Amino acid sequence: MNAPRLRARKLDIRNGHVDLSHGAGGRAMAQLIGEIFAENFANDLLAQGNDQAVFSVPPGRLAMTTDGYVVSPLFFPGGDIGSLAVHGTVNDLAMAGARPLHLSASFILEEGFPLADLQTIAQSMGAAAREAGVKIVTGDTKVVERGKADGVFISTAGIGVVPDGLDLSGDKARPGDVILVSGTIGDHGVAIMSSRENLAFETQILSDSAALNGLVADMVAACGPHLKLLRDPTRGGIAATLNEIAHQSKIGLRIEEDALPVKAEVAAACEFLGLDPLNVANEGKLLAFVAPEAAQDLLRVMRAHPLGKESAIIGACVEDPHHFVQMRTAFGGGRIVDWLSGEQLPRIC
Amino acid sequence: MNAPRLRARKLDIRNGHVDLSHGAGGRAMAQLIGEIFAENFANDLLAQGNDQAVFSVPPGRLAMTTDGYVVSPLFFPGGDIGSLAVHGTVNDLAMAGARPLHLSASFILEEGFPLADLQTIAQSMGAAAREAGVKIVTGDTKVVERGKADGVFISTAGIGVVPDGLDLSGDKARPGDVILVSGTIGDHGVAIMSSRENLAFETQILSDSAALNGLVADMVAACGPHLKLLRDPTRGGIAATLNEIAHQSKIGLRIEEDALPVKAEVAAACEFLGLDPLNVANEGKLLAFVAPEAAQDLLRVMRAHPLGKESAIIGACVEDPHHFVQMRTAFGGGRIVDWLSGEQLPRIC
């Protein structure tokens, strides 16, 4: 008797579509996982082929994080949902000062989604993971009926190792600490909005989506003991992130509008779209809070890294029982930088 | 000046609904996370309030896993998507023999989803986690527009510690090894199908959704060195799982239909629905492969645990270059137990 499973045709990636059988735990699912995910994520741990990966970790504390990705459109200038799902989770680990090790990936696919697009996304995830030095070691695939999802949603989780002696946390900033940003703000959000609204600006605005673990490793090596906290200003932009930190650390923050790096084309697009760059998401930037005596050193180290060339000191922490974030504007006035309560940019990540 | 954020009203959990602002990274999201997730998952690591949790782990190898949950309906006899999302991921860790430690949870919510249902799901997740002895240490929430998802999807990831000397894997079964199942098969799938089709059988059939890490700990303590592999037969039922293992271990499997524990009402429902219990999902059962000399001991230990009372020896591994799973039927005949290729029961988990 011949084993019929040995004669299975390869997936028709060019013309095929996801169907419910690809989430059913049977042969079709095994084939999808084998030909698309295992192929593009190739590593020894994923190849164990079990429902979990088992591995040794270096001694030290671990960081663990997760994010769901529902960005629309799935493909945008400067990236796609696949690279974003790797960068975002790597960055959440890096913000603890951790060296990212391994990721998991959970896919929720809509029936009818083109296999060619899924292949592109998986390739992009694999490339982003290799570039960031992490492995996608375990995963899961579910399929829901047409109209019950929107193409593909991805949830990645990650673990990393935190170096001994480093204890970064949102509650660690103190009055006097200096605030730095690693580059221009608002690029990701504006790239998504332009692509969603089909806007053509003179220059194409690219998402800044990138893995920041290399930059963070340099920062930790140079200024580790002086670093108080790192955070990547994603959804809600630097306005939301600064407010979160002011609350967690129970301090006020003062920033300088003039010091904020914003690309001219992003500023123009924000004006056109009625957005404030402070509220717009970034996916390859970080805010660093550092003891004042190390601020210049940190700035130098950050600017020496390809992803931190446009780093800038943007403000400092102060005593403030109200935990306000205030900005001195370019015109010399002042204003409160508040969180937005509602939704400015849905499905930005 | 008063801080307006201090005057925010509490969420109207009874009558409120998820809206896009709950995924926007601003205050509304912080409130949803605080009042629903942090409240129900309460633990010291989640309370760190960062985008990642940092913790020490005991020495040893780690297991890591993830699963997405898209079960429909969200609430079913014997559980809901929340308890399922904890049990499923705990079980994937336990199948490596790992002691589960921490979970992450990524929520994708549809605009308009009732907060009361979200609260019930979060309560159920919190209770399931406490019962299984794990903490939900980090999470993420995204909201998509009405019609772009189906209520709520959850992806959980988990890590656990694998005891030294234990090396369970799908490729470890050898001819002569004995196959056990920890109880009746098909309960979860039939519970979902009955509830979806609104079928009333004489007895209500409950999902078997449960965390198996306690049962596994007893099995490892008693028979660790003799255990070859464990796997929970979820999507695709024991037919898919047995076929997977036959392939991974490059052996054949022979099982006895008479030995398979199936509840009478599940058998009846399967007949009515045109399903084979072998293909129906379980969420609180495991298959164990063990060296023959330890099979009786293992059976005794399994039956002594509340979740293994109806454990049974169902077959054994044989040499077979075709890697077939064959079943001797109750009538004395034989048949190949094949994987289903297509989708029998969509969105069962």
Tens of pLDDT, residues A189-212: 999 998 888 777 777 899 999 999
- Closest-CA residue of chain B to A161: B54
For residue A112, with 0-12 CB atoms within 10 Å meaning exposed, 13-18 middle and 19 or more buried, which class applies? Answer: middle
Asked if A64 lies within 8 A of B102 by C-beta distance, the reply is yes
pLDDT at B240 over 60: yes
Which residues of chain B lie closer than 8 angstroms to A340, CB-CB?
Answer: 24, 26-27
Mean pLDDT over A215-234 rounds to 97
Q: Which residues contact A25 (CB under 8 A, 6 or more apart)?
A: B234, B235, B236, B237, B240, B281
Q: How far is CA A296 from CA A67, A176, A288, A330, B98, in A?
A: 33, 14, 12, 23, 46
Strand A61-69 vs strand B75-76: parallel, antiparallel, or unpaired?
unpaired
pLDDT at B255 over 90: yes
Q: Which residues contact B2 (CB under 8 A, 6 or more apart)?
A: none
Minimal Cβ distance to A62: which of B55, B92, B153:
B55
Asked if B66 lies within 8 A of A231 by C-beta distance, the reply is no
DSSP letters of B286-300?
A: -EEEE-GGGHHHHHH
Q: Where are the beta strands (DSSP E) in A40-175?
A: 53-55, 61-69, 75-76, 79-80, 99-110, 135-144, 152-162
Asked if B108 lies within 8 A of A24 by C-beta distance, the reply is no
Asked if A342 lies within 8 A of B108 by C-beta distance, the reply is no
Minimal Cβ distance to A55: which of B61, B234, B346:
B61
> Residue A253's pLDDT is what?
98
Which residues of chain B lie closer than 8 angstroms to A220, CB-CB?
Answer: none
Mean pLDDT over B127-142 rounds to 98
Asked if B20 lies within 8 A of A342 by C-beta distance, the reply is yes
- Closest-CA residue of chain B to A54: B63
CA triple A151-B26-A321, angle to 5 deg: 165
Q: Where are the alpha helices (DSSP H) in B33-143?
A: 39-41, 81-94, 115-132
- Closest-CA residue of chain A to B72: A144
Q: What is the predicted ipTM?
A: 0.96
Confidence of residue B6 (pLDDT cuts 50, 70, 90): very low
Minimal Cβ distance to A24: which of B51, B54, B235:
B235
Minimal Cβ distance to A68: which of B52, B59, B155:
B155
Which residues of chain A lie closer than 8 angstroms to B55, CB-CB?
Answer: 61-62, 64
**Count of CB atoms situated within 10 Å of the CB of B271:** 11
Q: Which of A104-113, B198-207, B264-273 has the lowest mean pLDDT?
A: B198-207
> Residue A59's pLDDT is what?
79
Minimal Cβ distance to B159: which of A19, A153, A159:
A159
Reported as type and span, the H/E element at residue B334 is strand B334-336
Minimal Cβ distance to A52: which of B27, B65, B141:
B65
Sheet hosting strand B312-318, strand order edge to edge: B227-231, B287-290, B178-181, B312-318, B252-256, B325-328, B334-336
- A148 is written with which tokens? 């019950």
Confidence of residue B344 (pLDDT cuts 50, 70, 90): low
Asked if A145 lies within 8 A of B62 by C-beta distance, the reply is no
Please answer whether residues B234 and B88 qualify as being in contact, where contact means their C-beta atoms are separated by less than 8 angstroms. Answer: yes
Asked if B92 lies within 8 A of A64 by C-beta distance, the reply is no
> Residue B340's pLDDT is what?
76
> Residue A6's pLDDT is what?
43
pLDDT at B120 over 70: yes
Cα distance from B202 to chain A (closest Cα, Å)? Answer: 29
Which residues of chain A lie closer than 8 angstroms to B138, CB-CB?
Answer: 64-66
Tens of pLDDT, residues A3-23: 344 446 899 999 999 999 998
Which residues of chain A lie closer than 8 angstroms to B30, CB-CB?
Answer: 244, 339
DSSP letters of B17-56?
A: B--GGGGSSSHHHHHHIIIIIIHHH--TTGGG-SSSEEE-
Mean pLDDT over A332-340 rounds to 90
Mean pLDDT over A241-259 rounds to 97
Q: What percent of the residues of chain A are helix, what percent strand, and what percent coil, each to the nearest 5?
A: 35, 25, 40
Q: Which of B160, B51, B49, B57 is nearest to B102 (CA)?
A: B160
- Closest-CA residue of chain A to B105: A66
Q: Which domains does chain B have, with CATH numbers?
A: 11-162 (3.30.1330.10), 178-336 (3.90.650.10)
The Cα–Cα gap between A122 and A271 comes to: 35
Q: Which of A264, A256, A262 is nearest to A333 (CA)?
A: A256
